[in-house]
A and B are shown apart, each in its own frame.
Chain A
Amino acid sequence: MNKERRVRILVAKPGLDGHDRGARIIARTYRDAGFEVVYSGLHQTPEEVVQAAIQEDVDMIGLSSLAGAHMYLLPRVVELLREKNADDIVVCGGGIFPEEDIPKLKDAGVKEIFTPGTPLTEIVAWVVKNVSPRGL
C-alpha cells in the first residue's frame, strides 16, 4: 500500500555560518540513498527552518552547525516544532560540537548528533532505522 511513500528530509544551515560543504555532501548522500532532500541554503533562522519543514512536510530536519551557536539554534528548532504541533518531525544535528554539549542537545530533544569522522553510510543507516515516511 505505502510502496510509494518516500522519506523527505530538510537539510538546512541555521545561523550565521557560511560553511555549507558538509550540508551539501549530506544532501547528496541522502539523495543517493533514495531520499527526497529539500535544501534550503545558508543563514536560516530557526523560525524559517521550521516554516520550511512544515510547508515541505518533511520527516526529518538535518541541521548543520559549525560556528558554535548550536546550543541556541538546535533546541530552538525543536521548541518551535513543538509549538506548531509538528514535533513528529525528527531533528538531527551535524558538525562540530563539544563532547559535553551532546547530552544536553539530546535532552533538549535533538534525536541524534553526527560529528566529523562519522561515516556517511552510518548516517544513512541511522536515518533508515529511525525515520519513516509520515511516521508509518
Chain B
Amino acid sequence: MEIAEKIKTGDIRAVARLIRDIDDNISDAREVLKDLYSSTGNAYVIGVTGAPGVGKSTLVDQMVNHLRKAGKTVGVLAVDPTSPFSGGAILGDRVRMQRHSMDEGVFIRSMATRGSFGGLTQSTRSAIDVLDAMGKDYVIVETVGVGQDEVDIVRSSDTTLIVLIPGMGDDVQALKAGILEVGDIFLINKSDREGVDKTVSDIRLMIEMDEKRYKDGWKPPILTAQAVFDKGIKELLDEIEKHRLHLSSNKGMVSTLKYEKTKNDLYEMIKDKIVKEILNDIVNSGEFEDAIRSIIDKKIDPYTACDKIVSAKLKSNIQ
C-alpha cells in the first residue's frame, strides 16, 4: 500500500524498483499493481516499432525533447532483446536518450525481452501502468525489431507508430501481414537516403488496398523525417495529436478500443497464470519426462500423450 502511494507521488526509486520486481516476477509486485490500477488510464501511450536500425531510439529521443518543450512529462520504456544463449542482454537504447537523464520530467527505463513465457508483453504492459500511475502525461514504448510480439504491444498503445527507412524493398513485403496492418502513423526515417519516394508509394499502395482501415475514419498518414537532425518531428507530433483527437471524438470507438484492450490484457494475464501454474507443474512432473521417452521410442504418439497429460492435470486440479 505504502509503495503504491510512493509511486503515485512519482518517487523515482520506488518506480524503478517496482518495474524490476515486475520483470523479476515477484509476487509482491502484483499486489502493488492491484493498488495502482485505479490510478491508471490517464497517460497517452505511444508505441514505436520498426526493424532494428531504423532509428527508433533517436526518434524517441527527439519526441521526448518536443514533448518536454510543450510542458508534458514523459515515461519511456525501451525494449531490447535477451540473448537466447546466455539469458543476458545489452540494453543500448539509452545511449540516444542520455540528454534527458537529468530531467525530472522524464523517466527512461530499458527492459529486456527475457524468457519465452510471454514475459515481454506482460511486464511491459504492467510497466506502462506504473509510469501511467506515477503521473506521466505520455508513455512511449519502443519495441525491439519486428516480430509477433510487437503486435501485442501495439494493442497497449493509443497511437502506434511504424518506423521504416527507404529502400527496405523486400523487407516491406515481409512485414505486410504483420505489423504494417496495425500502424496508425507511418514514418519514413532517414529520408535523405535514396529511394524515399518508392518507400512512400509502397506504403501508400498497401494502405489503399486495405479498406478495413478506413472504417473508423482514420487513414494512416505517411510522414518523412530525419530524426537525427530533428527534421519532421514536429509534424509527427502534430499527427499523433490529430490521432488522439480523432480517437477521443468518437465515443463509440473509445469504448470499443477500451473493451478490446481490456479483453486482450485479461486474456494474456490468464494465459500467463495458467502457463506458470499448470504448465510448470506438468513440466516438472515425472510424467512429462516419461512421455518424452515414450514418444521417442514410438510407444505413443505426441498427440495422444498431450491429450492424456492435459486431461489428467485438469481433472486433478478440479479435485
Contacts and interface: CB of A to CB of B under 8 A. Distances in A.
B101 interface: yes
Nearest to B96: A41
**Is chain A's binding surface mostly helix, strand, loop or mixed?**
mixed
A32 B102 contact: no
Contacts of B138: none
Contacts of B249: none
Contacts of A70: none
Interface residues of A, number: 34
B101 A48 contact: yes
Contacts of B109: 55-56
Contact of A40 (B24, B89, B98): B98
Interface string B1-31: 0000000000011001101100111100000
B296 interface: no
Interface residues of B, number: 32
A111 to B, nearest CB: 21
Contacts of B88: 30-37
Interface string A80-111: 00001110000000000000000000000000
**Is chain B's binding surface mostly helix, strand, loop or mixed?**
mixed
Nearest to A31: B88
Contacts of B94: 38-41, 52, 56
Interface string A10-38: 00000000000000000110111111111
Contacts of A129: none
Contact of B16 (A33, A40, A55): A55
Interface stretch (A1-9, A61-69, A115-123): A1-9
Interface of A: 2, 4-6, 8, 27-28, 30-41, 44-45, 47-48, 51-52, 54-57, 84-86, 133-134
24 contacts: A2-B24, A6-B87, A28-B90, A31-B83, A32-B86, A33-B88, A34-B87, A36-B89, A39-B90, A39-B91, A40-B95, A40-B98, A41-B94, A47-B102, A48-B98, A51-B101, A51-B102, A52-B94, A55-B16, A55-B107, A56-B94, A56-B109, A57-B17, A134-B20
Nearest 5 A-B pairs (CB), nearest first?
A41-B95, A31-B88, A57-B16, A57-B20, A34-B87
